[in-house]
Chain A
């Protein structure tokens, strides 16, 4: 048997060949094309033509920088809110005695995935609109007289993003806390730490891998979010994803869209690098 495994190992290159080719043709090659296009000029109908220019990058970091920073800011806020809401939830679920209860609550956390994301985001329009459910209830209770302006604001985008990505925070933290040995809390108490200090000095550091994974899983898709700001943000909540989308439409600008895409990718890569470094430090020497 070991002989067969050894030969399979030797042939590993061949086994990986189809996928490698697939990635080369459909991932690396298009990426190179996007990179090249981002340095070309805009022609009639938004297509890319020569000569080469760095003008699109200048605009990205110039007039569009506000949208770039807004995207990063909204994604960061989404991550923080998800963490603040997700950690206690994940902690609660994973510390329940009943296995069945844990499974049911986890199931409820991922239940929204059963419905199309687009439809769920539309539902938020109904909830947040001027004539929407939330304003309706608040007015009928007499708490406000004028509807609160919620739809087409950054607040609406934040709500939508948190709603959409919360499970990505809960699941890895759940896994971390689930593996956590609560004997360490006994040990911390035994050594004189109260609940707060036991949490800060022992529980949090030991469940940090789950926290970091959750933050990466929420932040990265949030930066590039497109459907949520499109439906809930209006012009005020426009994010870089929408901007890129616009460049590839009828009156768009493919080179500019490519430059924006490259910059967004760089932001994502940077956050991944930070995640990996933090994770490595956490694992220790």
Chain B
């Protein structure tokens, strides 16, 4: 049996809000492996931060069990758990210097001052800020504070590091470079990271696995590729990246994970079924990413007979040049529009098609996902 670093078993967290019960976390179960970079992704208020706080021990679950390294965490206060947190606003103690901040956790363990200072300096070295130990947090930039918060948590050598939107307060460019740095750091130290974010791109770039949450529920757990390519629900498909949703009718489920669906223009195509699909026939939603849609004035006879390709007629409504890509707005039926994104390469650009022209659009079966309506 595989051992997990963190295990959540049917976790429920209710908050009392002026007499009304608010369910922040709704029967969440997940297993996070040792050394994994695990992202909790979702919009604000989806319960991801509450889940993190439950693992940290700042909140107690209303129902369910939390296990860290196989040990049940019931009744174990935050200060006895083998986890450390990097807070969203860093929560560096303003009255202590950077060194004292990092030494704080070690001194609580009873490490003597000299040893604690040495380890604090090593930790600062690790986050590449060796010379700022004597400064106060308010004298540091946001990026520096972020690294100090990281050093303060990692110096304790926790089993699990919890990160609550740690890059949220940084500007875009710094955020990008910190993403790579954090990922590299995680590989180096080999500690399990549980990373809360609302930024889908951040989660996809950094995480080994992503859990998408909404309204307290964990909707889907999987690798970034699984989440992006095989979204289980409308919400996941919509939240991660850009998606076209086409209302469709499911005619028949095949055994190979595909199904025949009818589109609003009356054409019938073959599409991949989502693992979470419960509908057996009738109204469904077809999801397809803009970059998976191809565009041509006409298609060759060879392509036309390719059984894995779906080909439709569409009217070009609008095209928009956005540098790397061109975005085409296409109408496949009255009231049903799609967005296609085609990369601009030599000899191919938006000038190739005229607005109002009828074009052929095509995609591979596996690029579509049939979701519950």
Contacts and interface: CB of A to CB of B under 8 A. Distances in A.
Contacts of B85: 186-187, 190
A164 B98 CA distance: 42
A285 B94 CA distance: 12
A227 interface: no
A123 interface: no
Contacts of A190: 56, 58, 78-79, 83-85, 153
Contacts of A96: none
Contact of A192 (B79, B87, B93, B136): B79
B109 interface: yes
Contacts of A206: 93-95
Contact of B87 (A186, A197, A205, A284): A186
A183 interface: yes
B190 interface: no
Interface string A202-216: 100110000000000
Nearest to B53: A186
B95 A284 contact: yes
Interface in B85-134: 85, 87, 89, 91-95, 104-105, 108-109
Given A190-B78, A192-B109, A183 B91 contact: yes
B165 to A, nearest CB: 13
B108 A187 contact: no
Contact of B136 (A183, A188, A285): A285
B61 interface: no
Contact of A191 (B58, B94, B104): B104
A197 B108 contact: yes
A192 B91 contact: no
Given A194-B79, A285-B136, A189 B91 contact: no
Contacts of A188: 93, 104
Contact of A201 (B56, B104, B156): B104
A194 B109 CA distance: 11
A188 B85 CA distance: 10
Nearest to A181: B91
Contacts of A285: 136
B152 interface: yes
A192 B80 CA distance: 6
A117 interface: no
Contact of A186 (B78, B92, B94, B108): B78
A187 B58 contact: no
Contact of A184 (B79, B91, B105): B91
A263 interface: no
A191 B106 CA distance: 8
B78 A184 contact: no
Contacts of B77: 189, 194
A205 B105 contact: no
B156 A189 contact: no
A46 B94 CA distance: 57
A39 B178 CA distance: 72
B136 A184 contact: no
Contacts of B56: 186, 190
Interface string B29-58: 000000000000000000000000000111
Interface of A: 181, 183-184, 186-194, 197, 201-202, 205-206, 282, 284-285
Rank and list the top 8 A-B pairs by shortest CB-CB distance, nearest first.
A191-B105, A192-B108, A187-B91, A189-B78, A183-B91, A190-B85, A205-B95, A189-B79
Given A193-B108, A285-B136, 11 more contacts: A186-B56, A186-B85, A186-B87, A187-B92, A189-B57, A189-B58, A189-B78, A190-B56, A190-B84, A192-B79, A205-B95
Interface of B: 56-58, 77-80, 83-85, 87, 89, 91-95, 104-105, 108-109, 136, 152-153, 156
10 contacts: A186-B87, A187-B92, A188-B93, A188-B104, A189-B58, A190-B56, A190-B83, A194-B79, A205-B95, A206-B95
